[in-house]
A and B are shown apart, each in its own frame.
Chain A
């Protein structure tokens, strides 16, 4: 089966071709079926390969499958080839699995949309690109997937292209991602000229000969990390993700929560062999991760659009994953990536279900008490919220607790402090969302209220499956008990740990204490939300008025978009205009037109010599003879 690994991205690609070329003329259920089956088949192939891989003896792992040589120029070689190792398998399973569920959900969710075939075309292309990204065995092919997912994200965010805000958001996503990709590309150049290869295994093997802290490796990892901040929406390039919510909700669930945005985390974990050699880069990764986690979480507290709350929450959770990688706990980062994929996809799909029931309403101020109308959506949403808040024994508890633990043990107290504060805020704003949406008094518009309904089974079944995963997904990583951390043991061959590790070996009591503490923090966050939005519903208004400066700052997202506009976008526009109207038109063309002018001027005057009178010419000749003779004599 492993020889057919290329089938994994091929199925969605075929789905993309069919739906893209003839989907317009096919009935909707056929289009939807093609799209979903294509991704479903990828999942099945991945599963088969996964099971086969488990049976392989350790010395036969990992497996590389070359399809063909893509670009060859001089000593440069890049292949279309796939690497089958624990890390890529986990990612392939997450991506194809979650994608399948979201495709099925979309068949129902998008059913009344006139661009139905277009939606599935893009969605299949996305899955194809994402599978290439995580399956690639070299940096360049990974970059193909990397930019490919960016393209699909652009197309899907701008899916409602007639809406100005949607097409703006799509463009912003693409351009900001390109800034990141620019860094990634430079990273690839430096990798090639340093190691003479772009193949992961070759590069990592050669890198092992470098000392810890080697300048070139630090530079490479920092370049690559610029790419990660773009793709995974970290400071300072996170601004596109909240706007990306303009896309249809399944897109937000798939691309902007579960899969694409985690590509940066995957990349850092994939390059653990490089990052572990670059302490400076690790510090940068951890610091950016921690700052993003708290920064985005605070913004999440003051948003009223349910999808934007989830978007900032995603940015914040991605920050956690980077924090984990930055302190060398790559496995914990990937672990959180996985559990987050489950519960965040569920949260988005749940919010989509709410929108579906409320005729497209997104403002939580116009919701409330939906619990009784939409029980399945409510319960699944609640489970996911408990998971993200980090309540035992839901999936998020295990992964988040691990990150908090490692940030203290392997990192610095400050990381742990920030992460814990962010955990408190996360619990607060997520339960704020639950309370505002499902509890309390109904604030639903009376017109809409009549039609409020639970979503059809095609939507609720994926919700329930994801809810199941959000509950049990963490059990693969049960800490404390020796050998029970199946996840870590499986992944460890793909990960190169930081050298100075294993020094600290905390006691079980300490670990349990940490767990209780993080539970306590989450509980406090939930209680605060309960107090604000259920017990004393006036409290939010009172607090926001009392601290209105801070509230305004957070409500306006720290004015980051405005700052970028005035400091970067506008100067570039003005500068470009200057180049065009002044340098080009007046400068260069001025010289050209000026010299043409001089010639015109000269000819206008010189033509006066051409009088047509023979006497004048004879005189000129005579004059010439005199001058020349005079010169010859006088010489």
Chain B
């Protein structure tokens, strides 16, 4: 009998949060050390997933299943495949680094902060492992609250409440529609087969009529598109990122946004494959618009965090474009790009956070010439910048290349327009880098800035390691998603040929 690794991963942080509740709230150091220890333990717990994962099969692995509310067909059903594996590893890998990044940054309500962080972690992992739609929805909502608090309490005092509420409302709006769609699907399945269940894998096999797929795809899609965020649902993101504390931004960018893209891959597309094919043009065009739009708007930002936030819109556009190609390179590139974005944008937010901690400003105009007082910072910043703009040899290139390669096959025009995003990325990132790091130090306050401490360097070393690893030897990661992607594509391909009834009769039945 195997250890229930997935359940341990989901509930260990919750236990940890309970433990923290009993600690002295004044002893900040202890609180942070304990949380660091907990998150490191969590990372260690997740390692067996990586090493015992069988890359040959597309079947769900590490499956656990218990009845929860059997009378409603609700079960505690978790398991992972190649798609979720990488995202789980990313989450457990980043959390200790995030805790380390709070060391001097978070100084008030430390206890609550750490509890939020751990709860958030439980929620994130829950979303990635859930194979029961009801369970998934629970985790999806659970995760929303700690993030809302992170922004609202520890955010930037001026606008944090606006940002937190905007974040909450946007996400809620999508979630509610998704809930309705989940229920419709549940009842439809019950009517059609006689058994009522939220079991995702069973629901996959359901042949939903196209008319219904159409609306359900939109309902799920809206929730996920807001989360990604896709143009034009992205406006909550710059506010949330800008006002959130550093660690909040890191987790938001690195993991939370991926729930949107993951949602498309896990729920939207396999549940409603015909609709997915139908919507390829719409979503691809929105993705391409996002790529170019995000990049252009990044170019004119004056606030560092806002710039990075808009660049996320552009990068996530690449992911969406890749997923909607339904080609091997496109989808695999999309998944790798999710990880890449987590690493490089996470690192960028840390970089901005560290300079904010020193200078209490994020305005580009307040900086200039930082390379001179902070050479180590400059070197790390440069590498991360290059990763973000997709320099071959670093991680970003592998993802963008595969995505564009896939897109080029499905629609040359999308690929060509999207590829201009690569040019604009160089423009806005290098221009930003130039204004912050190059030139002479004009501002007196910047002359005496301290270079990175050992703790801060320690945060970046693992990130840089993976930035280079994925760039130089991406097959470590591509091979993990190979079987799952093949399976996914086969399913999507089959849907192309399967006839679905267009009759209206089924629709009424579904109610």
A69 interface residue per 8 A CB criterion? yes
Q: Which residues of B contact A193 (CB under 8 A)?
A: 408-409
Instruction: Tell me whether A580 and B475 are in contact in the complex, defined as CB-CB below 8 angstroms, given that A147-B391, A182-B422 are known contacts.
Output: no
The one of A158, A161, A171, A189 that contacts B431, using a Cβ cutoff of 8 Å: A171
Which stretch, B14-22, B291-299, B351-359, touches the partner chain A? B291-299
For residue A20, which residue of chain B has the nearest CB?
B379
* A575 at interface, CB cutoff 8 A: yes
CB distance from A45 to the nearest CB of B (A): 22
Query: B402, A71: Cβ atoms under 8 Å?
Result: yes
Residues of B close to A192: CB separation below 8 A: 405
B235 touches A592 (CB 8 A): yes
Give B480 Cβ to nearest chain A Cβ, in Å.
Answer: 12
Which one, A144, A158, A178, A587, contacts B422 given CB within 8 A?
A178
Q: Does A186 contact B (CB under 8 A)?
A: yes
Q: Is the CB of B296 within 8 A of A572?
A: yes
8 Å CB interface, B368-387 against A: 369, 371-372, 375, 386
Are B439 and A167 in contact, CB atoms less than 8 angstroms apart?
yes
A186/B416 contact (C-beta < 8 A), A158-B438, A193-B408 known: yes
Q: Are A161 and B439 in contact (CB under 8 A)?
A: yes
Q: Chain A residue with minimal CB distance to B431?
A: A171
| B contact residues around A167 at 8 Å (CB) | 434, 438-439
CB <8 Å contact, A186 and B478: no
Q: In this assembly, does B142 line the interface, its C-beta being within 8 Å of a C-beta of chain A? A: no
Residues facing B in A153-202 (CB within 8 A) are 154, 158, 161-162, 164, 167-168, 170-171, 174-175, 178-179, 181-182, 185-186, 189-190, 192-193
Q: How far apart are A586's CB and chain B's nearest CB, in angstroms?
A: 11
Size range of the interface on A? 35 or more
CB contact list, B383-416 vs A, under 8 A:
386, 391-393, 397-398, 401-402, 404-405, 408-409, 415-416
Q: Residue on B with the closest CB to A161?
A: B438
- In B208-230, the 8 Å CB interface with A consists of none
Q: CA of A143 to CA of B408 in the docked complex: distance in angstroms?
A: 18
List B contacts of A147 (CB < 8 A).
391-392, 397
The complex places the Cα of A175 from the Cα of B431 at a distance, in Å, of 10
- Residue from A71, A74, A75, A171 within 8 A of B401 (CB atoms): A71
Given contacts A143-B392, A151-B386, A588-B235, contact A69 B475 (CB under 8 A): yes
Task: Mark interface residues in B418-444 (1 if CB within 8 Å of A CB, else 0).
Answer: 011011001100110010011110000
A179 CB contacts on chain B under 8 angstroms: 423
Q: A161-B437, A185-B419 are in contact. Are A589 and B235 (CB under 8 A)?
A: yes
Knowing A72-B478, A162-B369, A575-B296, the reply to whether A151 touches B438 (Cβ < 8 A) is no
Question: In chain A, residues 584-613, which have Cβ atoms closer than 8 Å to a Cβ of chain B?
Answer: 584, 587-589, 592, 596
Say yes or no: B371 contacts A161, CB within 8 Å: yes
Asked if B332 lies at the interface with its beta carbon under 8 angstroms from chain A, I say yes
Known: A148-B393, A573-B299. A71 touches B474 (CB 8 A): yes
Interface string of B294-320 (1 = CB under 8 A from A): 001101110000000000000000000
CB distance from A573 to the nearest CB of B (A): 7
One digit per residue, 1 when the CB lies within 8 angstroms of any chain A CB and 0 when it does not, for chain B 334-350 equals 00000000000000000
Asked if A576 contacts B299 (CB within 8 A), the reply is yes
Contact (Cβ within 8 A) B232 A588: yes
Residues of A within 8 A of B299 (CB): 572-573, 576
Contact flag A592-B166 (CB < 8 Å), given A70-B473, A192-B405, A576-B297: yes
Contacts of A161 in B (CB 8 A): 371, 437-439
Q: Is B386 within 8 A of A73, CB to CB?
A: no
Interface centre among A140, A171, A192, A577 (most CB of B within 10 A): A171
A70 to B235, CA, bound (A): 38
Give the complex CA separation of A7 and B46 in angstroms: 38
B416: which A residues are within 8 A, CB to CB? Answer: 186
Contact of A171 among B328, B375, B430, B474 (CB under 8 A): B430
A168 surroundings in chain B (CB, below 8 A): 434
A584: which of B235, B327, B371 is its contact (CB, 8 Å)?
A: B235
CB of B79 within 8 A of chain A? no
Q: Interface 1/0s, chain A 61-94, versus B by CB < 8 A?
A: 0000000111111111000000000000000000
Q: Within 8 Å CB of B419, what residues of A?
A: 182, 185-186
Chain B nearest CB: distance from A585 CB in Å?
8
A579 within 8 Å of B by Cβ?
A: yes
B333 at the interface (CB under 8 A from A): yes
From known contacts A186-B416, A573-B299, infer whether A73 and B328 are also in contact, taking CB-CB under 8 Å: yes
CB < 8 Å: which of A151, A178, A580 contacts B301? A580
Q: How far is the CA of A76 from the CA of B333 in the complex (A)?
A: 12
CA gap between A284 and B300 in the complex, in Å: 36
A174 vs B386: C-alpha distance in the bound complex, in angstroms? Answer: 11
B391 and A190 form a contact (CB under 8 A) = no
Q: Which residues of A contact B126 (CB under 8 A)?
A: none
Give chain A nearest CB distance to B340 CB in angstroms. 13
Q: Which of chain A's residues have a CB closer than 8 A to the CB of B393? A: 144, 148
Question: Are B408 and A178 neighbours in the complex by a CB distance under 8 Å?
Answer: no
Q: Name the contact of B438 in the complex, choosing from A69, A71, A162, A577 (C-beta under 8 A).
A: A162
User: How far, in angstroms, from A32 to B32 measured CA to CA in the complex?
Assistant: 45
Known A-B contacts A148-B393, A162-B440, A171-B431; A73 and B423 likewise in contact (beta carbons under 8 Å): no
Q: Which of A68, A70, A573 has the most CB of B within 10 A?
A: A70
Task: Tell me the complex Cα distance, A192–B330, Å.
Answer: 14
Cβ-based interface call for B329 (8 A):
yes
CA distance A170 to B430 in the complex (A): 9
A76-B296 Cα distance, complex, nearest whole Å: 31
The answer on a CB contact under 8 Å between A185 and B422 is: yes
Of the residues A73, A174, A584, A589, contact of B426 by C-beta under 8 Å = A174
The verdict on A74 contacting B437 (CB below 8 Å), with A186-B419, A572-B299 known, is no
Q: Which residues of chain A have C-beta atoms less than 8 A from B420's C-beta?
A: 182
| Distance A175 CA – B430 CA, assembled complex (angstroms) | 9
B408 and A73 contact, CB distance less than 8 A: no
Nearest opposing residue in chain B for A589, CB measure: B235
Residues of chain B within 8 A of A584, CB atoms compared:
235, 297
- Closest-CB distance, A219 to chain B (whole angstroms): 10
Q: How far is the CA of A175 from the CA of B295 in the complex (A)?
A: 14
For B427, the chain A residues whose CB sits under 8 A away are 175
What chain A residues lie within 8 Å of B391 (beta carbons)? 147-148, 151
Chain B residues with Cβ below 8 Å from A182 are: 419-420, 422-423
How far is it, in angstroms, between the C-alpha of A186 and the C-alpha of B415 when the chains are bound?
8
Q: Would A71 and B475 count as touching, CB distance under 8 A? A: yes
A22 to B438, CA, bound (A): 22
The minimal Cβ–Cβ distance linking B481 to chain A, given in whole angstroms, is 9
Q: Which of A72, A148, A181, A577 contacts B475 (CB 8 A)?
A: A72
Are B296 and A579 in contact, with the CB atoms below 8 A? Answer: yes
Q: Whole-angstrom distance from the CB of A565 to the nearest CB of chain B? A: 14
Contacts of A144 in B (CB 8 A): 392-393
Residues in A412-452 with C-beta less than 8 Å from chain B: none
List, in ascending order, chain A residues with CB within 8 A of B482's CB. 73
Most chain A CB atoms below 10 A, which of B372, B405, B419, B431? B405
Q: Could you tell me if A74 and B332 are in contact, using CB atoms closer than 8 angstroms? A: yes
Quick one: which of A24, A148, A167 has the most chain B CB within 10 A? A167
Closest to A573 in B: B300
Choose among B327, B426, B439, B474 the residue that contacts A164 (Cβ–Cβ < 8 A).
Answer: B439
Q: Which of A143, A181, A584 has the most CB of B within 10 A?
A: A584
Across the two chains, which residue of chain A brings its CB closest to B425? A178
By the criterion CB–CB under 8 Å, are A70 and B474 in contact? yes
Q: Given the complex, which residues of B lie within 8 Å of A151, measured CB to CB?
A: 386, 391
B426 / chain A contacts, CB cutoff of 8 Å: 174-175, 178
Given contact pairs A75-B328, A588-B235, A189 touches B405 in the complex (Cβ within 8 A) = yes
Q: Which 4 A-B pairs have the closest CB atoms?
A: A74-B328, A189-B408, A167-B438, A576-B296
12 more contacts with CB within 8 A, not counting A74-B332, A181-B422, are A69-B475, A71-B398, A71-B474, A73-B328, A75-B328, A140-B401, A148-B391, A158-B434, A162-B369, A162-B438, A171-B434, A587-B232
8 A-B contacts (beta carbon < 8 Å) = A70-B473, A71-B398, A76-B328, A147-B392, A168-B434, A185-B401, A189-B405, A193-B408
